[in-house]
């Protein structure tokens, strides 16, 4: 779709969860938005996709550093990205944001992933809250939650869903966390 419209893939490397980047050179979320706008003139659609699982262990065994790293990667990174994306989108009359959460967070289906489950459940809650706050400003915010049970969605199916959520065909969907799963019959 991008190539058909005259575009193509571009890479911007950044340490998103850190406001000025770990190296202090301004490589955080603000940099990603500013560089996108510099290269393309605007930011109309954003997909915040992160998945730091952390070690597979019971909640009582999670190290504080691992807990902090997982929440920083999965939750703070999404929040900082949205913060800067929303600021730009408000200035240009709107846009669409899709975040990746996880059904693991909503359902707690896989014991041993406590930090991941907590961070992705928080992404879902953050998405719903922000969606209500910014829908009147023409910014639609939703989330997807790929589900590992049953037949998980392929990368292409996930991408198709994100593209659809960003399209006018889904203009009525706001503040939803769409679980991507298909139960297999036994």
Non-local (6+) Cβ contacts of 182 within 8 A are: 150, 151, 153
Nearest one of 150, 132, 149, 152 to 141, comparing CA atoms: 132
Nearest one of 151, 144, 72, 49 to 103, comparing CA atoms: 144
SS3 labels along 12-47: CCCCCCCCCCCCCCCCCHHHHHHHHHHHHCCCCEEE
Backbone angles phi, psi at 127, to 5 degrees: -60, -50
Cα angle 140, 143, 149 (rounded to 5 degrees) comes to 160
Please give the DSSP secondary-structure letter assigned to residue 113. Answer: B
**Selected catalytic residue, list 17, 74, 99, 116:** 116
116 labelled catalytic: yes
Strand residue runs (E) in 52-138: 95-100
Active site residues: 116
């Amino acid at each position: 779709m991008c190539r058909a419209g005259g575009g193509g893939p571009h890479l911007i490397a950044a340490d998103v969860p850190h406001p000025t980047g770990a190296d202090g050179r301004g490589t955080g979320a603000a940099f990603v938005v500013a560089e996108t706008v510099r290269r393309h003139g605007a930011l109309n659609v954003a997909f915040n996709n992160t998945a730091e699982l952390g070690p597979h262990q019971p909640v009582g065994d999670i190290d504080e550093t691992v807990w902090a790293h997982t929440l920083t990667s999965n939750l703070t990174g999404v929040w900082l990205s949205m913060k800067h994306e929303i600021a730009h989108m408000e200035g240009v009359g709107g846009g669409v944001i899709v975040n990746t959460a996880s059904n693991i967070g909503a359902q707690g289906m896989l014991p041993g992933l406590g930090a991941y489950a907590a961070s992705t459940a928080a992404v879902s809650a953050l998405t719903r809250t922000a969606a209500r706050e910014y829908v009147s400003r023409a910014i639609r915010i939703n989330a997807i939650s790929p589900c590992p049970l049953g037949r998980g969605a392929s990368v292409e199916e996930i991408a198709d869903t994100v593209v659809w959520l960003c399209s006018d065909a889904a203009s009525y969907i706001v503040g939803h966390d769409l679980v991507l799963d298909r139960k297999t019959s036994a």
